[in-house]
Amino acid sequence: MAPIPRLPAAAVPRLPLVPDPLHRIRVPKDLDAVTTIDPGEEPLAGGLDRRAVDHIWSAVVDLYRSGVHPAIQLCLRRHGKIVINRSIGHARGNGPDDAPDAEKVLVTPRTPYCVYSTSKGVTAMVVHLLQDRGLLDIQDRVTKYLPDYGRHGKEKTTIAHVLAHRAGVPTLPREVLDIDRVADTDFVIEAISNSKPFVKPGTLLAYHAISGGFILGEIVRRVTGKTIREVLAESILDPLGFRWGNYGVAPEDVDQVGVDYLTGPRLLPPFSNLAARVLGQPVELVVETANDPRFQTALIPAGNVITTGDELSRFFEIFRAGGILD
């Protein structure tokens, strides 16, 4: 059989580069170089041995190797002890669209991130705390505190309906999500008060991505005379020595917040349409907005708590410990 002739290099057709359909990061070869372990880990005190810790962390490393997570933080508490507090990846500089020579900043267990809808649990904590103090009752109608909210058939909506995503106003007018107006509380509350419920309040579960937080935050302000940010700080965060964990951060702390990146397979219809309806805007715009300093310094009770894995774990340790921490 005659040998197959070889084409000269110049004659070999060059195929265009195909974009990565998973929109992944560049996973470093040396994973130890992008891993940070908090020396405060106490696996033995928490009842785990080193083998168990290594097994758990290997699952995190495998997840990072998938290339769709620029950074991962994991803080695990057991019996009140920190058994794992680690991070892997980069806080910025290694997103799918970042240049290969972009400056890369290592993520550490102390890097704060926006935790999006986890904020709802923090807000619910504040609301229930005020109930314990006798300042409100979650079975009260919203109109007891926000008289104008009762328009268009919303007069029987209770605080409990809002907490349970049954208020009937899951989406917001597009103008409310304008990053330049999101800090205008009077404007936001007026827009929500003037919205029409898509079903009778209390009858149907529908995820309230942002709207419910604004309602609850304004109720907190009306009954305490302070913003929910101030109440959270004064009642929980400051007495317990939290560095992060509030709604947004101070302007001088913005550059410490880890960057969010859009990764993974592109969301296609009908799922992209569904996500846009739930979130009030396309996922791409949500991620872009989350990296905006105006968002990171705003007060959005359902969506912009900024904290670390360690401090988030510590906050929810309050529940496990029956309201007492350390």
Tens digits of pLDDT across the chain (326 residues): 444 433 343 444 444 444 567 789 999 999 999 999 999 999 999 999 999 999 999 999 999 999 999 999 999 999 999 999 999 999 999 999 999 999 999 999 999 999 999 999 999 999 999 999 999 999 999 999 999 999 999 999 999 999 999 999 998 877 777 888 888 999 999 999 999 999 999 999 999 999 999 999 999 999 999 999 999 999 999 999 999 999 999 999 999 999 999 998 887 788 777 777 777 778 888 889 999 999 999 999 999 999 999 999 999 999 899 888 88
Residue carrying structure tokens 């669209």:
97
Query: Tell me, what's the pLDDT at 63?
Result: 97
Measure Cα distances from 201 to 137, 206, 268 in Å.
18, 10, 31
Contacts 24+ apart (CB under 8 A), 144-149: 145/218, 145/219, 145/222, 145/223, 146/189, 146/193, 146/215, 146/218, 146/219, 146/222, 148/189, 148/190, 148/193, 149/189, 149/192, 149/193, 149/215
Characterise 78 by phi-psi region: left (phi > 0), alpha (psi -120 to 50), beta (else): beta
Angle between helices 211-224 and 119-132 (to 10 degrees): 30
Q: How many whole angstroms separate alpha carbon 245 and alpha carbon 224? A: 20
The owner of tokens 């670390």 is: 308
Confidence at residue 7, expressed as pLDDT on a 0 to 100 scale: 35
Is there a contact between 150 and 161 (Cβ–Cβ < 8 Å)? no
Nearest to 126 by CA among 243, 35, 223: 223
Strand pairing category for 105-106 and 246-247: unpaired
Strands 113-114 and 246-247: unpaired
Cα–Cα distance, 106 to 164 (Å, whole number): 38
Distance from chain centroid for Cα 142: 26
Q: How far is CA 83 from the centre of its chain?
A: 23
At 257, which helix (H) or strand (E)? none
User: What pLDDT does 219 receive?
Assistant: 98
Looking up tokens 């959270």 gives 232
Q: What is the pLDDT of residue 207?
A: 93
Residue owning tokens 């008060």: 193
What pTM, to 2 d.p., does this model score?
0.90
Nearest to 210 by CA among 305, 274, 301, 123: 301
pLDDT for position 19: 53
Rg (CA), the chain: 24
- CA-based torsion, 20, 24, 25, 28: positive or negative: negative
Whether residue 145 contacts residue 189, with contact meaning beta carbons closer than 8 Å, is answered with no
CA 140 to chain centre: 29
Is-cis flag, bond preceding 270, omega within 30? yes
Alpha-carbon distances of 274 from 139, 180, 270, rounded to whole Å: 31, 25, 6
Residue positions counted in the chain? 326
Q: Using a CB cutoff of 8 Å and minimum separation of 24, what contacts does 71-74 make?
A: 71/107, 71/111, 71/258, 72/107, 73/107, 73/109, 73/111, 73/113, 73/308, 73/309, 73/310, 74/309
